Structures are given as C-alpha cells and as structure tokens.
Amino acid sequence: MRFHFLLPIFRKPHYLLLVYVGLSFFLMSLNPPAELRGIRMGVLALVEFWSGIQESLTRRQVSRKELEALKEENFRLQLSNQRLREVLLENIRLHRLLNLSRELDVAYVSARVIGLGTERDVQSIILNVGSRDGVGKNMPVVNADGLVGKVIAVTPGQAVVQILLDHNSLVSARLQQSRELGIVSWDGSPWLRLQYIPKSVAVSVGEPVVTSGLSNIYPPGLKIGVVVKVSEDRRGFFKNIRVKPAVDFNRLEEVFVIVGEKKTPAEKAAS
C-alpha cells in the first residue's frame, strides 16, 4: 500500500525506463559503490567456485587424454630407443671388424650369421655368403674376437661353418708365450681343450692360444682363446689344459671369411 505512488511509473513505460536509466547512471557514478562491493564479492566468489568445479572437471579430462598420449609417446620412444641401441651396438661391432680387416693381411669376405646349422652331428652356423662371393670349403672364419671355425659346405648364396665348439673340430694351435704346439679340440665341456702340451712346458693361466699356421686351413696368429685351467695327469705325458674361446658363440652376428692371401697391386693388375 505504501508504494501506490509508484504505480503511475509502471503504467507509463517511458517513465519506468527513465527510472532505470537514472538508476544505472547513479550506479555508474558510484562505481564501485561500497554497498555493491560486498554483493559483487559474494557473486564473484560463487562464480569462482563454479569456475573452479568446471576447471577441475576439464583438467581431469585433459590430463587423462594427456596421460594416454604420453603413454603412447613413451612406448614409441622406447621402441625407437631400442632400435637406436641396436644400431649403436652394430656400429661398434662393425667398427671392430673394420679394425680387424685392416690388421689381417689376407683377402676376406664379410658375412652375416643368418642361422644355426641343422646337421645333427656338427655344431655349425649359416652365413649369407656362398660360392658366388668367392667362399669355398675349408676357408677359415673369424670375427673381431678371434677364430670362429671353418667353412664345411657351400651353396651359391650360403655357407655352413663348423665352429670350434664341435666334437669334430681340430685346430693346430700354439701357446703364444712358450710357442709350444698343440691341438685344440672340444669335448662337450664349457671350455676348449688344448692337447699334447708336454708336462715340462710351463703354462700359466691367462696365456693366449693362437693358430699355429702349420695347417693348410688356418693362417698363423689367429686368436683361439686364453688358458683358464692347467692340470697334470700322473700317468700321462701331457698337461690337461682348458682354454676359454675368444669368441662368444652365442653372440655371433658379423664375421669374416678369409678367402685367401691378400694380393699385391701388381698381382691384382695381372689377374
């Protein structure tokens, strides 16, 4: 009842508009009015609270997506890292082979191990080179660590290599320091066996064993391994010597096949 005097304003819309316009200008002139500041702070607190909820929901969604993306990225990088590590290791091996090829005064063919031999009686590996590449039977095979074995069979594209860890393998060898000659063979134990070294010869553990060069197959000086155990049999004439192979046969990947003596430039020109 007390506000009846306001009714004419509501009946005349332009009066009402003038009131609103006046009020608006009044508020603008007071800006920011002390009375409104409290209300504004309250409203802004509510808005902030609502925005906080929205933001946390959005952030959770985003972080879940980000997490999945990062997992994928991590997996991809791990694969890439593994590949790079393989390339690095291959590079190191090839580098060592390259050094060996410079040291060897022989003609050779580089090859990659592509499989294990299927013969029941022979421990062998298969190489990706064959007669087409100049590889022939009984050619020695080496890697950067030492002697691997010899070629026992050849096809145009592949070669089968009998490794030292074979019951039929016999290599004429020499103790590097004492220059004593012996035969390296394998009897199924973890180490090679060096036979026919007389008891009178002083042999120390760690002494290198190399090819003697007396056979027609292996050139002299190729490392076979090092002496790891020396014992004597009372009744025999020779020492029992165990040799750890220089080559890790479980990790063979790249090798060289020695195909002959290195030709001089004059020989090359003649051929």
Nearest approach, Cβ of residue 59 and other proteins (Å): 15
Nearest approach, Cβ of residue 2 and other proteins (Å): 20
Alpha carbon distances (Å) from 109 to 151, 224, 252: 12, 20, 16
Which tokens go with 152?
A: 């026992």
Nearest approach, Cβ of residue 47 and other proteins (Å): 6
**Residue 11-30 contact track with other proteins, rule CB under 8 A, x = bound:** --xx-xx--xx-xxxxxx-x
Residue span binding other proteins (CB under 8 A) among the ranges 39-47, 107-115, 173-181, 198-206:
39-47
Say which DSSP state 179 is in.
-
- Yes or no: say if 262 and 102 are a contact pair by the CB < 8 Å rule: no
Cα separation, 265 vs 127, whole angstroms = 29
By beta-carbon proximity to other proteins, the closer residue of 33 and 134 is 33
> Quick one: which of 1, 3, 6, 36 contacts other proteins (CB under 8 A)?
36
**Residue 53-72 contact track with other proteins, rule CB under 8 A, x = bound:** -x------------------
Nearest approach, Cβ of residue 65 and other proteins (Å): 17
> Quick one: which of 1, 2, 3, 32 contacts other proteins (CB under 8 A)?
32
Measure CA 234 to chain center. Answer: 49
Which tokens go with 190?
A: 């973890």
Alpha carbon distances (Å) from 83 to 74, 88, 90, 94, 211: 14, 9, 11, 16, 37
How many residues touch other proteins (CB under 8 A)?
A: 25
Cα separation, 194 vs 187, whole angstroms = 11
By beta-carbon proximity to other proteins, the closer residue of 38 and 198 is 38
By beta-carbon proximity to other proteins, the closer residue of 9 and 153 is 9
40 binds other proteins (CB under 8 A): yes
Q: Say whether 149 sits in a helix, a strand or coil.
A: strand
Q: What number of other Cβ atoms are within 10 A of residue 219's Cβ?
A: 18
List of residues contacting other proteins (CB under 8 A): 10, 13-14, 16-17, 20-21, 23-28, 30-33, 36, 39-40, 43-44, 47, 50, 54
